[in-house]
Amino acid sequence: MEDACVLIVESNILVRQPLAEYLRECGYRVAEAANVTEARQLLREKKITVDIVLADAAADQEGCFALASWIRTALPGVEMIMAGTVAKMAGDAGELCEEGPAETTPYDHKQVLDRIKRAIAARDRQKR
Amino acid sequence: MVPQRSQDPAPAIAHVLVVEDEVVVRALLAEELRGAGLTVVEAANADEAWAYLQAGGQAHLMFSDVRMPGSMDGMELRRRVREDFPAMKIVMTSGNIGPAVPGALDGFLPKPYSFNKAVEVALRLLGAEA
């Protein structure tokens, strides 16, 4: 898929910015949100077309799950990958996100990239 | 398939730090600046911007809103940047105050501003051609 856009939801700029830069280097468009509220606003306003959301649930687990639920209902074409360190979260995330379980943090950039590729490929297969 | 990068990308050498708490404004401005070949770092507030700079993050130019939530506003960020990073160009943006912002500034953009205008200002301050 050309020109896919990844929305990173991450509260720590020192984590968000290097990951965003890495994904841009890999050819993706990347939007950034510092929290779930910002992510919802970006997605709702649709001025940027987002294909996949990568959200770290560590800072706001409840908000992140609510975001995943909302995306599943309101934006069925958008994939979501959840990240976090909470063990229980992995199973829960698997139910809400297409490609569960959760990605672990701190991020392994290459692993995140592979995950994004797989999620987008899976979505494109479903579309056919 | 991973999307391909532009065939003829502009050199992304200059780093622009965009400090803006309105996420849509921040994201769209950042996209425009990237489209002009600049490397853009997005900060959701002054605290994030300061954390980025304190961690050794690069920035040649900073676009900062004045009113933002957090422990400091844009004016305090501007003061700290002037003190610790005197070479960095600073453009303040605001919908609430006029261009008579106290202290030295390289530019002021009253809100709402056009993204084209912001790009033009950025390229001029960075010494590139618009």
Select from A13, A27, A41 the Cβ nearest to the Cβ of B23: A41
Q: Does A125 touch chain B (CB under 8 A)?
A: no
Q: How far apart are CA B74 and CA B98, in angstroms?
A: 14
The CA distance from A42 to A54, in Å, is 14
What is the rounded CA–CA span in Å between residue A26 and residue A32? 16
Kindly report the backbone phi and psi dihedral angles of residue B47, in degrees, each rounded to the nearest multiple of 5, phi listed first: -60, -45
User: Measured between CB atoms, which of B1, B24, B51 is closest to A1?
Assistant: B1
CB atoms A13 and B48 under 8 Å: yes
Contact call for residues A51 and A1 (beta carbons, < 8 A): yes
Q: Is the CB of residue A61 less than 8 Å away from at least one CB of chain B?
A: no
- Give the global pTM: 0.86
Do A48 and B28 make contact, defined as CB atoms within 8 angstroms? yes
Q: What is the pLDDT of residues A30-47, one digit of tens each?
A: 999 999 999 999 999 989
Q: What pLDDT was estimated at residue A128?
A: 72
Structure tokens at B98: 């006029």
pLDDT tens, position by position, A70-124: 999 999 989 999 887 655 555 666 666 655 556 677 788 998 999 899 888 888 8
The amino acid occupying position B122 is A
Return the percentage of chain B with pLDDT > 70, whole number.
82
Q: Which residues contact A2 (CB under 8 A, 6 or more apart)?
A: B1, B3, B4
Q: Which of A55-59, B39-43, B51-55 has the lowest mean pLDDT?
A: A55-59
In this prediction the ipTM stands at 0.84
